[in-house]
Amino acid sequence: MIPIGCYKTKTATKPNWCDARHEVAHISIDAVSVGIMIGRSQIRSHGLFIPFLSPVVVLSSVVSASPRRLACLYFYWNTTSLQEQMKTLNRGEIDLEGGDVEKDSEKTIRSSRVVKFHNRALLSGLAYCISSCSMILVNKFVLSSYNFSAGISLMLYQNLISVVVVSILSFLGIISTEPLTWRLIRVWFPVNVMFVGMLITSMFSLRYINVAMVTVLKNVTNVITAVGEMYLFNKHHDSRVWTALFLMIISAISGGITDLSFHSVGYMWQFINCFLTASYSLTLRRVMDTAKQVTKSGNLNEFSMVLLNNILSLPLGVLLIFVFNEVDYLFNTPLLKLPMFWLVMTLSGFLGLAISFTSMWFLHQTGATTYSLVGSLNKIPLSIAGIFLFKVPTSLENCASILFGLLAGVFFAQAKIRERS
């Protein structure tokens, strides 16, 4: 029980038997504080305060407080205005465990803000990891388990969902996007060709290769990007980065040699995907600066890029459907008559859009360093889930190669973090 401290009566004419210095000292400070909070919203005059305060005091101090002390407390609160009582508390005369009430409240506010920040960072990171893993697994399920051979049509349907959702959010004013102009389309079109090629080759490779090997082979993209940065932007990397890249190459080669489900067509599409992904990343840096100059606001946010990429991919995707002769397959396949198949395809479209939103959310809550490191670590559970969910035939050597490649990706992320710092 923490004592209130010394309270002086309002006038010198109060009876001696009710000296608050001695009698109120045994009443709990918690009871008085709760009483103030309860009565504050219901009082019209200080004379009505005690009916709300008295039950709290009696319940919390029934053991230590005698009737004489309770009567004394009643006398004190009825002869002192509520305004003076609150002033007493605000001046910090009540000490809680060696700290003032005001200081404790400030500490509580600061600690609550820290907890909220960590909760948001954790929630955004979890959402990003779940959406990115689920997107790859659902695509693999559609292409392999359903044996759906129209990867371009799947990409087109997913991008159409993204266009519809982003357009609705922009129309409602939830997000802001730049209006499309012919100048912006002309500037962005070369990048969009790489974007569409990147998505299509990813679909083609995922149909033939298991998820774990896809994640390992994607490390080749980092090698191509690093070499491109060196020649295009004169950016030099330190020895740790090159060591990590060398380990990635070794893991990709050893993984391909020990892959029991090796498919040459799938590996070909995956290496093309790595080249297009690296080209998209390198070209995007230059095109973004040019694109900002042709927009009305002089800026191009992430939502505008998502909308721009997906809108421009629609006519190009329709053209490629005829080029790769997917039209006949779509008319003859019985899969399009299954409601569950449409549900899974629609889910993949929303997951593709969720990756864009959650990645931006996670990057805003944390930073580029945490984002890149979590992205590398996220491949480990993804690979394990891909092996078990799709019952991939594997060996100890292949599992070791996959693990080696995943750890090389983590080492590369750490090396890039040190290089930036």
H/E stretch holding 242 reads helix 239-257
Q: Angle 101-140/368-377 helices, nearest 10 degrees?
A: 40
pLDDT tens digits, 130-146: 999 999 999 999 999 99
What is the predicted pLDDT for the residue at 115? Answer: 57
Q: What is d(CA 325, CA 383) in angstroms, rounded to the nearest whole number?
A: 32
pLDDT-derived band at 105, boundaries 50, 70, 90: low
Poorest-pLDDT segment among 116-125, 161-170, 183-192, 247-256: 116-125
pLDDT-derived band at 359, boundaries 50, 70, 90: confident
Q: Is 366 helix (H, G, I), strand (E, B) or coil?
A: coil
Token pair of 120, please?
A: 């948001």
H/E stretch holding 95 reads strand 95-96
pLDDT tens digits, 32-56: 333 333 333 333 333 333 333 443 4
Q: What is the mean pLDDT of residues 200-205?
A: 94
Whether the per-residue pLDDT at 89 is higher than 80: the answer is no
What is the predicted pLDDT for the residue at 45? Answer: 37
Q: What is d(CA 49, CA 181) in angstroms, rounded to the nearest whole number?
A: 68
Token pair of 235, please?
A: 């950016």
pLDDT tens digits, 172-198: 999 999 888 899 999 999 999 999 999
Nearest to 419 by CA among 282, 129, 222: 222
Q: Is 99 helix (H, G, I), strand (E, B) or coil?
A: strand
Q: Angle 396-420/379-389 helices, nearest 10 degrees?
A: 160
pLDDT tens digits, 215-232: 999 989 989 998 998 888
What is the predicted pLDDT for the residue at 413? Answer: 86
Residues 6+ apart with CB under 8 A from 244: 408, 411, 412, 415
pLDDT tens digits, 393-408: 888 999 999 999 999 9
Q: What is d(CA 394, CA 209) in angstroms, rounded to the nearest whole number?
A: 12
pLDDT-derived band at 116, boundaries 50, 70, 90: low
Whether the per-residue pLDDT at 100 is higher than 50: the answer is yes
Token pair of 406, please?
A: 């995943």
What is the predicted pLDDT for the residue at 416? Answer: 83
CA 228 to chain centre: 30
> What DSSP assignment string belongs to 253-311?
HHHHHT-TT--HHHHHHHHHHHHHHHHHHHHHHHHHHHHHHTSSSS---HHHHHHHHHH
Q: What is d(CA 87, CA 191) in angstroms, rounded to the nearest whole number?
A: 66
Report the chain's mean pLDDT, rounded to a whole number. Answer: 77
Q: What is the mean pLDDT of residues 349-372?
A: 83
Whether the per-residue pLDDT at 98 is higher than 70: the answer is no
> What DSSP assignment string belongs to 175-217?
S--PPP-HHHHHHHHHHHHHHHHHHHHHHHHHHHS-HHHHHHH
What is the predicted pLDDT for the residue at 120? Answer: 81
Whether the per-residue pLDDT at 360 is higher than 70: the answer is yes
What is the predicted pLDDT for the residue at 302? Answer: 83
End-to-end CA distance of the chain: 52
CB 384 within 8 A of CB 136: no
Whether the per-residue pLDDT at 233 is higher than 70: the answer is yes
Nearest to 70 by CA among 81, 61, 83, 78: 61
Residues 6+ apart with CB under 8 A from 234: none
Nearest to 221 by CA among 167, 152, 275: 275
Whether the per-residue pLDDT at 114 is higher than 60: the answer is no
Whether the per-residue pLDDT at 109 is higher than 80: the answer is no
Q: What is d(CA 292, CA 308) in angstroms, rounded to the nearest whole number?
A: 13
What is the predicted pLDDT for the residue at 119? Answer: 79
What is the predicted pLDDT for the residue at 137? Answer: 94
Whether the per-residue pLDDT at 278 is higher than 50: the answer is yes
Q: Is 62 helix (H, G, I), strand (E, B) or coil?
A: coil
CB 124 within 8 A of CB 365: yes
Q: What is d(CA 223, CA 242) in angstroms, rounded to the nearest whole number?
A: 9
Nearest to 402 by CA among 287, 273, 252, 276: 252
What is the predicted pLDDT for the residue at 200? Answer: 95
- Name residue, tokens 């939830």: 174
What one-letter code names the amino acid at 248?
A: M
The residues pairing with 100 across neighbouring beta strands, listed in sequence order, are 95
Q: What is d(CA 148, CA 348) in angstroms, rounded to the nearest whole number?
A: 14
What is the predicted pLDDT for the residue at 118? Answer: 66
pTM more than 0.85? no
Token pair of 146, please?
A: 């359903």
Q: What is the mean pLDDT of residues 69-80?
A: 48
Q: What is d(CA 195, CA 108) in angstroms, rounded to the nearest whole number?
A: 48
What is the predicted pLDDT for the residue at 213? Answer: 93
Dihedral, 326, 149, 137, 367 alpha carbons, nearest 10: -30
Q: What is d(CA 270, CA 292) in angstroms, rounded to the nearest whole number?
A: 32
CB 266 within 8 A of CB 255: no
Poorest-pLDDT segment among 286-290, 342-346, 347-351: 286-290
Please tell me which residue, 365 or 15, carries the higher pLDDT value.
365
Q: CA angle, 43 as apex, 46 and 97 as ends, to 5°? A: 75
Poorest-pLDDT segment among 102-111, 239-248, 346-355: 102-111
